[in-house]
Structure 1
Amino acid sequence: MGNDLRKVVNELNKLQIVLPAGTEIAPEHIEKHIGISKDFNVFELQRALGSKDLVRSQRITEFFAANPKDHPVAMIMPVLNSYFSKVYAYHGLKDRSGPAAAKALRCAPFAVKQYAEAARHYPLDKVGRIFGYLREADRKAKGQGNVSTPDAFLLKEAVFKILH
């Protein structure tokens, strides 16, 4: 489907037909009704990293490395940075209950569980270091201070550092 808006609109119209009114569209709905596999996208990578699933993180990273045009590092790093920004913010919340946390983080209530899990795996100081890893990979992917390191290596290195 890519970023063709007509196709996106058509697929959303299909979901409106099959889902009850008022249902929040989740990745599972998209996979089931549209048939798009969600296994290898940046959101699954952030979920795998958040749960510290080494095997799944590596599998997704290998897929991205094999498909660099579809998954450029310069596009992945900002998404991961945004994700870990929410994890960082979660650490600072006084009220971590679902609705209050969702409002504070400006996210869907179901996403709070993912941020909570990631916060359990990554203490605040580790999240601070993760920002450095992501910034370094992003900078190098854009050619700053790097003339020969392949993007695939930059991604693998950042993911390794995040997980260890």
Structure 2
Amino acid sequence: MAKKTGLSFEDLATSFRHQNFKPLYFLFGEEGFLIDELQDILIENALEPSQHDFNLDIVYGSDTEASKVIGLCQGYPAMAPRRVVIVREFEKLENNRQFKSYADDPNPEAVVLLACTNKPNLSAHPYRALKKKAAWSHFKPLYDNQMPGWIKKYVRGQGYDIEPQAVQMLADYVGTDLQTAASEVEKLITFAGERDTLTANDVLDASGQTREFNVFELQSAIGEGKYADAMRITNRILQQASNAHSEAIMIVAVLNAYVDKLWKLQMPQAQRMSKHKLAGHIGVSPYFVQEYKQAARRYSMRAVQDAHAALLAADYELKGGSRRDPRLILTLLVRRLLPQRVTA
């Protein structure tokens, strides 16, 4: 009977690091970054670098066919404790149904990892057999409110701490793209130098923005209804950007995440949540919950819906739907995002 719950990333990474290998792994899902990470951890711990030439095969399903891959899987290790065969884009492997039989009797002297770039039809073979016989995991994209926790854990895995404000800023910058998040963390580590804690200033330095004029000050000004401040910050950010068009796209993405949090705070269930539950609900540190709650009080549900519509329109224009100057697009956007009662 197929296991109903797959293994977590932490389960797999820990077993790899302890060299506790199964003969067959089946990984699938849209979050390829985590599969890439597990592939690297597997190779690092299963084989010495000197053993790679004769005992490591990484193939792509679109480049070969099943019988050849099964031949690799059934091979014996050469002067090594095991062979490692990794098949990326397994869903594109011609005749991959042959792996139904391989799943019944995998080579005990090999570690085979089959990875799909999406969720296949698990009721059809070979996927049905693999889910039943192999160690498997489904890697779904993270939700917005899961990103701060993931960033914090990832940073600690690199041997650093990170300030709560820096976590939130970074989460707002990158959305749910783990590859981008990991790349940004590498930049922050460079800016940190010999320090072991990543700060909000590091995030600003890496983005090219300043303490006074940055997208987070902009969202605060919008949430407080301060039109003059919001416009001054918007103009200064674009002036100091090396590419005003790309910067405008980033600003829209961050403001969209901000408005999404305000929308979540409008939900009836949010009114009954404790501070810590509310922080998890909207995906921020408890330290920042009050600021978001105050901003949300200035908006009606209709105003939040209008803000989402304005952001969608601006994103469309900036990504090819219009030839208007990005400064004009953002000027009009900021005006539409402000709560109804506006102060200078």
TM above 0.5, yes or no, is yes
- Correspondence for 2:175: none
- RMSD after superposition: 2.7
- Correspondence for 1:22: none
Q: Which of 274, 285, 293 pairs up with 1:97?
A: 274
Q: What amino acid is aligned across from residue 83 of structure 1 in structure 2?
A: Y
Q: Which of 236, 242, 246 pairs up with 1:63?
A: 236
Tell me the CA shift for residue 67 of structure 1: 3.7
- Correspondence for 1:41: 214
Deviations 1:66-101 (A, max 9, x none): 245166211211111111001100111132432121
Inter-CA distance 130–12: structure 2 relative to 1 (3 Å threshold): same
Deviations 1:4-44 (A, max 9, x none): 8666214435554xx7xxxxx6637988xxxx832211111
Do structure 1's residue 155 and structure 2's residue 323 form an aligned pair?
no
2:223 and 2:294 map into 1 onto residues whose CA distance is: 7
Q: Residues 64 and 152 of structure 1 are in contact (CA less than 8 Å); yes or no, is this contact kept in structure 2?
A: no
Deviating runs (4+, > 4 A) in structure 1?
3-7, 28-31
Q: Residues 188 and 202 of structure 2 are in contact (CA less than 8 Å); yes or no, is this contact kept in structure 1?
A: no
Q: Residues 46 and 80 of structure 1 are in contact (CA less than 8 Å); yes or no, is this contact kept in structure 2?
A: yes
- Correspondence for 1:142: 319
**Where do 5+ consecutive residues of structure 2 fail to align?**
1-182
Q: Residues 188 and 203 of structure 2 are in contact (CA less than 8 Å); yes or no, is this contact kept in structure 1?
A: no
Q: What amino acid is aligned across from residue 64 of structure 1 in structure 2?
A: I
Q: What amino acid is aligned across from residue 75 of structure 1 in structure 2?
A: M
Q: Residues 27 and 38 of structure 1 are in contact (CA less than 8 Å); yes or no, is this contact kept in structure 2?
A: no
- Correspondence for 1:51: 224
Tell me the CA shift for residue 65 of structure 1: 3.5
2:199 and 2:184 map into 1 onto residues whose CA distance is: 20
Inter-CA distance 118–14: structure 2 relative to 1 (3 Å threshold): farther
2:318 and 2:201 map into 1 onto residues whose CA distance is: 32
- Correspondence for 1:27: 200
1:55 and 1:96 map into 2 onto residues whose CA distance is: 34
Q: Residues 72 and 151 of structure 1 are in contact (CA less than 8 Å); yes or no, is this contact kept in structure 2?
A: no
User: Aligned to 2:305, what secondary structure does the other structure show?
Assistant: helix
Do structure 1's residue 109 and structure 2's residue 289 form an aligned pair?
no
**Where do 5+ consecutive residues of structure 1 fail to align?**
20-24
Instruction: Pick which of 4-13 and 44-53 moved more.
Output: 4-13
User: Aligned to 1:48, what secondary structure does the other structure show?
Assistant: helix
Tell me the CA shift for residue 59 of structure 1: 0.9
1:141 and 1:156 map into 2 onto residues whose CA distance is: 13
TM norm structure 2: 0.39
2:240 and 2:190 map into 1 onto residues whose CA distance is: 27
Do structure 1's residue 87 and structure 2's residue 267 form an aligned pair?
no
Q: Which of 181, 188, 207 pairs up with 1:8?
A: 188
2:191 and 2:225 map into 1 onto residues whose CA distance is: 32
Q: What amino acid is aligned across from residue 98 of structure 1 in structure 2?
A: K
Inter-CA distance 156–86: structure 2 relative to 1 (3 Å threshold): same
Q: What amino acid is aligned across from residue 249 of structure 2 in structure 1?
A: A
1:4 and 1:79 map into 2 onto residues whose CA distance is: 15
Where is the strand percentage greater, Structure 1 or Structure 2? 2
TM norm structure 1: 0.77
Q: What amino acid is aligned across from residue 107 of structure 1 in structure 2?
A: V
